[in-house]
Structure 1
């Protein structure tokens, strides 16, 4: 129980840290990426300004009143400079025709004047960051200057940053998981010690109470068996004491069983248990109680329809388990069904083999036509000392509220499942599935 709690605490530590680290890493990545893009755009805009200022504008020979850009003179000095920075230049006429370029092949990308920068898709492995400037003198458009920068200047450091952040996050999570496991162990240790002391006290107290209770019960029985006549009112009082002592003894036995289960001091003693034979013994023991209440108690063993040898047929309902615990489990379930079934009712126990693909389980259903359990009480019935309502405790053999808690502990010990389906005033079915 405590190991599971410790694991959950360590998992919560690690999960919360992972979420925080993920947000932090995402913020760092987005900040660095935006900074790289801004730096590339600043570089492109700077190149645009430098190249624009260095343009040589001359009048046309044929029409002196019109101006044009001397391309050879304007870009001759700039081409070598920008090539060192992995920057490409393109010059377009006012009509959008490419007149000069440092690219080996034209991009065939339409012109969109944009000084803020845009990312252009050229091919699956080739992206460019571009800035386009329209060059004007007065209202006369001289042409368009487009400056391009390879996108890998952004993607390469971004990918490296992702790798570095991922490695850092993994190392951090491993460290946090180890530290969380250590800290959760420190946090839960006081609770573990208190719980161990409480369990030890319960076990010791239950063990110490068994002897005086047994002595009281023995003395009362001896007094009742005395051949000398006892006044009737004294006899009735002794009978009440004897009955209450018997009930207290059962309560102490149940507490001692649960305390030993919780503490783990009971070592499992699993042997081959023929479940059909065990259920026959349980039904035989409960038949007298059922008959006294005019209740029909039956056992139905459903043989699987398969072709098996005689030896295999005998092993169909055999499982590995603790005989005493399983006997206690089904005795509790059958006695509960008999106790809360009115006279003239029926209690049926059915054993069958379920499963498929050579993975079979044994299933036992204990059904009754008793008073049933309210639907809102079903989630609580396996809690210790829980009772549905006072109307279920009017019987002289009213339980302590530990029967189903013990049943759940035994089923869990055998790695099985227990389920209860009930309808008020119609009956209850308890299904136990064992491996």
Structure 2
């Protein structure tokens, strides 16, 4: 079954990508708006500053090449704005007259420009400095008009705060709309995949009978070979082997489909009993391949019961043991360990087989996946571990894999325990019992 969390993750990924792109666009837009707005404010401020300087220049007369302040209006009659200061300097840059009360204004003109220009001063302040010449062209001195830049910084700061508050609001509204839109996009895909999954389950169920008929007829023909031609036996053997492989694949597909249907009417399952049965079932096969099979069950005073379906849990553990047997060379060993934690029961299946390279480890539970090296030389459909992983999740547990190439692998199943009560052992504490 397709996990609902898969579609949720897909929707979240689509939404995250959409919001990321939208956030980048909004930041670029805000940067452009902010830059344009600040440039417009600065240009307007400079125009006003230059116009004020020219107006102030017209209030002063020049007599014999020097400023004549007798005709200048009094500061009390026409007070300047509190953010403005006007200064007149002689040709050497020494202060002659000052009107205004801006703090931190230098009383000396450090640089004497040849033409009018803007200067940025600490504060933040901005000034217009202009040389003043007598009618004959003689330099009479300099005029500097300084104004606080707060008239620009204030509106610009308000704009930035507005944009900063607007971006999260836009993203929040867009997230709600994006979640709805991604749901519309995902829903047809989800419906299609579910129909395909249902088709696979139905097809697997319907294919079992003809495949079993083919396999049984081949077995009968092989058992009574009197009417066969000399080469027919090998043909029937190949047909029987192909039918067996197809039947195994069909059964695995059917189990994979049923795994996602959830656990209807779960029942208590004794994992210790199940593990002992599987160990006894696989022991003859491991002996044939010269493999050592060890079973260790922790002598815990707690119950070994979990809630679920015994058939599915048996399939889970059998797939792990089958995987270990398949990929462990002759002379190797397989260990099955059953242990208990406060709220979980752990089953570990370890082997000394070929192992899995780190690059392949994240894909071991993918459907139809097989590693590039030794696993391609082995039989199987690539569904065993995917089925085991699905069964573990359907029972509220997890299945993890650890592996070291050429040294073996360990698969750990964690299932929630049914009973939390513990039965005290004879010795008053936990121990370890092992069978071989």
Q: TM-score, normalised by structure 1?
A: 0.76
> What is the CA distance between 1:399 and its match in structure 2?
2.0
385-394 vs 280-289, which deviates more? 385-394
Secondary structure, aligned partner of 2:74: helix
Cα distance change, pair 88–205 in 1 and its aligned pair in 2 (3 A): same
1:54-203 alignment runs, 5 A limit: 54-59=59-64, 67-76=65-74, 80=78, 82-83=80-81, 86-93=83-90, 94-97=92-95, 99-103=97-101, 107-108=105-106, 111-113=109-111, 115-122=116-123, 127-137=124-134, 142-203=140-201
Structural RMSD (CA): 3.9
- 2:325 corresponds in structure 1 to 338
Separation in 1, partners of 2:187, 2:349:
41
**1:41 matched to 2:46:** yes
Cα distance change, pair 335–98 in 1 and its aligned pair in 2 (3 A): farther
- 2:8 corresponds in structure 1 to 3
Task: Specify which structure has the bigger relative contact order, considering alpha-carbon pairs within 8 angstroms and separated by 6 or more residues.
Answer: 2
- 1:306 corresponds in structure 2 to none
Instruction: Count matched residues.
Output: 402
Secondary structure, aligned partner of 2:72: helix
Separation in 1, partners of 2:103, 2:13:
61
Separation in 1, partners of 2:68, 2:210:
118
Separation in 2, partners of 1:387, 1:105:
78
1:422/1:429 contact within 8 Å kept: no
Separation in 2, partners of 1:79, 1:239:
119
Deviations 1:106-141 (A, max 9, x none): 63576355754344334xxxx333223343447865
Separation in 1, partners of 2:120, 2:266:
71
> What is the CA distance between 1:302 and its match in structure 2?
5.6
252-261 vs 108-117, which deviates more? 108-117
92-101 vs 283-292, which deviates more? 92-101
**1:382 matched to 2:379:** no
1:411/1:418 contact within 8 Å kept: no
> What is the CA distance between 1:100 and its match in structure 2?
2.1
- 1:63 corresponds in structure 2 to none
Aligned counterpart for 1:282 among listed residues 268, 272, 278: 278
1:358-397 alignment runs, 5 A limit: 363-373=346-356, 377-388=360-371, 392=375
Separation in 1, partners of 2:117, 2:391:
73
231-240 vs 100-109, which deviates more? 231-240
Secondary structure, aligned partner of 1:162: helix
Cα distance change, pair 156–81 in 1 and its aligned pair in 2 (3 A): same
Deviations 1:237-283 (A, max 9, x none): 7776666544433321210122234xx43346666666555433332
Aligned counterpart for 2:315 among listed residues 325, 328, 334: 328
Separation in 2, partners of 1:376, 1:265:
31
Q: TM-score, normalised by structure 2?
A: 0.76
2:94/2:107 contact within 8 Å kept: no
Separation in 2, partners of 1:376, 1:105:
68
